[in-house]
Amino acid sequence: MEERKLLHGFLAKSQDGLPPRRMKDSYIEVLLPLGSEPELREKYLTVQNTVRFGRILEDLDSLGVLICYMHNKIHSAKMSPLSIVTALVDKIDMCKKSLSPEQDIKFSGHVSWVGKTSMEVKMQMFQAGICKSTHP
């Protein structure tokens, strides 16, 4: 708890104290190797041998938080003084009904808008023949 209190000193006193950021500063791509790592695939499969969509949503949520932390990174601090949570997901567009457990999935995303106390992250998920886009 004391360590968290010390982190308060890293917070900017005003908007003027914040460094400029670009969307590409928070851009990230992550590969979920379902097709190339059978051991990992097992954790994502249902008893019907389909991909657990809830697990994918958990991964997207974690990626969204990681993107927010990347955008707000304070290089002089070992850990972030911020606590970031997902408030909502605006939309999920799906081009196909289901994901293939035999193919890797690529997630990507970046911060697309920032206010004083909130931010918007745009994420995409790609699997050969399948595309998804989320707006948390």
Q: pLDDT digit string (tens) for 46-99?
A: 999 999 999 999 999 999 999 998 888 877 767 777 778 888 888 888 887 789
**Token match 């890797």: residue?**
104
Residue pointed to by tokens 């997207």: 60
Report pLDDT for 112. 94
Task: Look at residue 95 in the predicted model and tell me its pLDDT.
Answer: 80
Written as one letter, the residue type at 134 is: T
Per-residue pLDDT of 115-132, as tens digits, reads 888 899 999 999 975 555
Q: What is the C-alpha separation between 20 and 9, in angstroms, rounded?
A: 19
* pLDDT tens per residue, range 88-118: 888 888 887 789 999 999 999 999 998 888 8
Kindly indicate the confidence band of residue 12, based on its pLDDT and cuts at 50, 70 and 90. Answer: low
Smallest Cα–Cα separation from 67: which of 32, 27, 19? 27
Query: Distance between CA atoms of 67 and 41, rounded to whole angstroms?
Result: 24
Backbone torsions φ then ψ of 29, nearest 5 degrees? -125, 135
